[in-house]
C-alpha cells in the first residue's frame, strides 16, 4: 500500500512541476521575464494578471518545491521523488526549467 501512495505522490509532483512550468512560461509571454519569487499556496501574479491561483506544494510534507534557479531570465524548479528510494525532501530527481 505504501508503494502505491509513493507513486501517487510522485505523479502529483510531476504534474505540479508541469503546471508551474506552464504558469512561468505564461508569465514570460506576458512580461518578457520570469517571476523571481514563488511561494507555495500563494497566487502567481505576473503584472496585473494572475496566471495561477495557488502554487502547489509537495504532497508529502507541504513544503515548497526546490528552486535551484529563479531569475528574470531563467528558472529551474525540482522535486524529490519517493519512488527512487532516497526521498529526503531535498534531492532533485525531477525538474522543469525555462523554455525561453
Q: What is the pLDDT of residues 65-96, one digit of tens each?
A: 999 899 999 999 999 999 776 767 677 889 99
Cα end-to-end span (Å), the chain: 41
Q: What is the pLDDT of residues 12-56, one digit of tens each?
A: 999 999 999 999 999 999 999 999 999 999 999 998 999 999 999
pTM metric for this prediction = 0.92
Across-strand partners of 79? 94
- Residue 2, pLDDT above cutoff 90: no
The three state secondary structure string of 32-88 is CCCCCCCCCCCCEEECCEEEECCCCCCCCCCCCCEEEEECCCCEEEEECCCCCCCCC
Across-strand partners of 96? 77
Amino acid at each position: 500500500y505504501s508503494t502505491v501512495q509513493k507513486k501517487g505522490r510522485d505523479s502529483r509532483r510531476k504534474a505540479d512541476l508541469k503546471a508551474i512550468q506552464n504558469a512561468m512560461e505564461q508569465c514570460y509571454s506576458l512580461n518578457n521575464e520570469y517571476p523571481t519569487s514563488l511561494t507555495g499556496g500563494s497566487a502567481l501574479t505576473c503584472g496585473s494578471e494572475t496566471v495561477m491561483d495557488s502554487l502547489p506544494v509537495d504532497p508529502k510534507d507541504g513544503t515548497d518545491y526546490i528552486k535551484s534557479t529563479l531569475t528574470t531570465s531563467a528558472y529551474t524548479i525540482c522535486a524529490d521523488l519517493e519512488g527512487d528510494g532516497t526521498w529526503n525532501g531535498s534531492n532533485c530527481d525531477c525538474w522543469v526549467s525555462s523554455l525561453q
